[in-house]
Chain A
Amino acid sequence: MDISFDKVSYTYQPNTPFEHRALDEVSFRINSGSYVAVIGHTGSGKSTLIQHLNGLLQPTSGEVKVGEYHLKANEKNKQLRKLREQVGVVFQYPEHQLFEETVAKDIAFGPQNFGVPQEEIHRRTREAVKATQIHEDLLERSPFDLSGGQMRRVAISGVLAMNPQVLVLDEPTAGLDPNGQKEIMDMFHRLHKDKQLTTILVTHSMEDALAYADHIVILNQGKVYMESAPLEIFKQQQALEDVQLDVPEVIQFVTKVRDQLGVELEYTGQSIAELAKELTRIVKGDRVYE
């Protein structure tokens, strides 16, 4: 689904001493099927922004469009339910939302609320746990008996079982071990391609943004600070440093090699090890010493 934000502002607790403008005339577009990373400092408004995507928050001014659904200031949208069925949101620490007696019931909770038939729920549950690599033996266990990492996977499965067309991920791997992080991010990327999802990822990790996203939106103090393709964004090291954001290590490596050795490496998604090999090949001619 195409998504657009048109001069969207959002103010928390308006008309009180705690009034806080968390989004300030934010405008951008996301094409259907793209993978967009939203980056910014803590407090820059990322979570506020994504809560507009399924109508949890309503703009204080401006307009949000998600496919055929429109969310405007001061105007109740009567189709929130349908919108929420199509936009799956994985919140920060989603394991806090688990509540059912068994893992299977918790995963089925979303689809059930949206009136999906029992047979179909079974099918989706199996598909979801396969994607998130939860062993089927765990389905009848209580979610509260699981490890933190397993709980996270169960919660994610619960969102996937809704079969959303838009997947919104708010720092979905925060607090996981590096292996788990990579597994989950790869899984989302696979789903994104296989099911032609539109994916919006909120992240702190420049590496993830570079590896998975085809578009990056950088927020700073509630405003869109930069917006472009990843490689374009990371060319502007100074602008990023101005808002305390780093350039991914790989890109730093390419830049350093260019500046100090005068060798132009072309970055097309390689790892640092692969780039290093390429560099040796160029510097030493074609003979590569393994």
Chain B
Amino acid sequence: MSNSMIIGQYIPGDSFVHRLDPRSKIAIIFFFVIIVFFANSVMSYGLLALFAIGSAATSRIPLSYIMKGLKPVWFLVIFTFLLHLIVTKQGEVLVSILGWEIYEEGLIQGAAISLRFFLLIMVTSLLTFTTTPIEITDAIEELLGPLKKVNFPVHELALMMSISLRFIPTLMQETEKISKAQASRGVDFRTGSFKDRVKAVIPLLVPLFVSAFKRAEELAMAMEARGYQGGEGRTKLRELHLGKTDVYLYILFILLVIGLFLTRS
């Protein structure tokens, strides 16, 4: 079970990408997502791909591992590609297979859209590979900071996020543990009719809910016992700092944007 669940799991390291301020990483990814949609020539896509692959290489996370993490979304990428190939009917007919005509434009659009998709997923998963969940929530809290002025519950939102993120691995472990215990008592999660399999989930879900509620209660009590009363006036254990590396990243990114607009057709 845990083998397939590795998408976006943080991998400790000390690379350039790891050391960046999480706010920079999130901001850059935000803008990257936007500029990806401006690419429209081979050169401009090439630049974006170079940036994404370069970041992945600098992070020193094995490429094979990144690809493995992308496994669940390969399907989507390929599906998008095929959809465009089939639906688009513009440009010259390239080949026709068993009555299906494949148009030049379909091939180009299919390739372009799935490449975009691929780049987006790669860059965002690089964020979660190189940034701890706590850093991510801290960064989001800071970035959304201005919204506090309009009474948007930024701190509460960030707290909710960090608590959920904190408990995802715990819940996954618990799921694995309980499903093993029930399998030992003869539950078969893999075979049987649809109805049987739905029934097999109950012995798994009930204990999970029970323990999740118990945990939530304990956590609330522990927080209250330690005098937690919201974000007002709370200081941070880990302050975020922009460093030299962040400046390099911004410069690089601005160059990328300039390059992108120069190579657009």
Min CB distance A110 to B, Å, is 4
Interface string of A1-36 (1 = CB under 8 A from B): 000000000001111111000000000000000000
Chain A positions within 8 Å of B178 at CB level: 96-97
A interface SS class: mixed
A172 within 8 A of B: no
B177 within 8 A of A: yes
Task: Count A/B pairs, Cβ under 8 Å.
Answer: 71
Chain B positions within 8 Å of A109 at CB level: 185, 203
Report yes or no: B180 in contact with A56, Cβ–Cβ below 8 A: yes
Stretch of A82-90, A122-130, A207-215, A216-224 lying at the B interface: A82-90
Which partner residue on chain A sits nearest B5 by CB separation? A13
CB < 8 Å neighbour of A16 from B6, B174, B202, B210: B6
Interface size class of B (residues with CB under 8 A): 20 to 34
A38 within 8 A of B: no
B235 within 8 A of A: no
Report yes or no: A13 in contact with B184, Cβ–Cβ below 8 A: no
B55 within 8 A of A: no
Cα A15 to Cα B71 in complex, Å, equals: 14
Interface string of A29-64 (1 = CB under 8 A from B): 000000000000000000000010010100000000
Cα A16 to Cα B2 in complex, Å, equals: 11
A162 within 8 A of B: yes
Interface string of A82-107 (1 = CB under 8 A from B): 00110111010010111100000000
Chain B positions within 8 Å of A98 at CB level: 207
Report yes or no: A97 in contact with B185, Cβ–Cβ below 8 A: yes
Cα A228 to Cα B186 in complex, Å, equals: 33
B165 within 8 A of A: no
Report yes or no: A17 in contact with B62, Cβ–Cβ below 8 A: yes
B183 within 8 A of A: yes
Report yes or no: A96 in contact with B186, Cβ–Cβ below 8 A: no
Interface string of B58-71 (1 = CB under 8 A from A): 00011011001000
Chain B positions within 8 Å of A56 at CB level: 180, 183-184
B211 within 8 A of A: yes
Report yes or no: B3 in contact with A84, Cβ–Cβ below 8 A: no
State the A residues within 8 Å of B (CB). 12-18, 51, 54, 56, 81, 84-85, 87-89, 91, 94, 96-99, 109-110, 112-114, 144, 158-159, 162
Seed contacts A15-B68, A17-B61, A98-B207; 8 additional CB < 8 Å A-B pairs:
A18-B9, A84-B185, A85-B186, A87-B184, A96-B181, A97-B203, A99-B202, A109-B203
